[in-house]
Amino acid sequence: QLQLVESGGGSVQPGGSLRLSCAASGFTLDDYTIGWFRQAPGKEREGVSCIRKNDGRAYYADSVKGRFTISRDNAKNTVSLQMNSLTPEDTAVYYCAAKAPVFRLCDLADRNYNNWGPGTQVTVNS
């Protein structure tokens, strides 16, 4: 069973940056399409970004396009989410998730992902 763990969350002022990482043990993350999702208090979970297995093609939600960058570090077996120009609206618990290895399509529908990390809190305030 693939197990994912997020790290890198914290508190930052508006305009600041954070880098989240998603790690797995015992499995090669490049064999999986990975998505980042977030859930703010009282709101539904929303897709932020995803990166396709094997070729690294990425996709972003309009709300983060130009500010967030998803990437893989295959040597470290991690998927990172670099978040710049953060605003209070980015405050949420951030989750990484993996699709079943047979699925390559990169999309932001959380129902299509079946392995989830426990999440990491990101708070943006002054």
Strand partners, 95: 37
Tell how far CA 106 is from the center of its chain. 12
* pLDDT at residue 51, rounded to an integer: 97
What does pLDDT average to over the chain? Answer: 95
Residue 16, pLDDT > 90, answer: yes
Please, are residues 46 and 39 in contact by the beta-carbon 8 Å criterion? yes
Q: Which residue has the tokens 């953060």?
A: 86
Higher pLDDT, residue 25 or 81:
81
* Percentage, residues of the chain above pLDDT 90: 89
Reply yes or no on whether the pLDDT at 61 is more than 90. yes
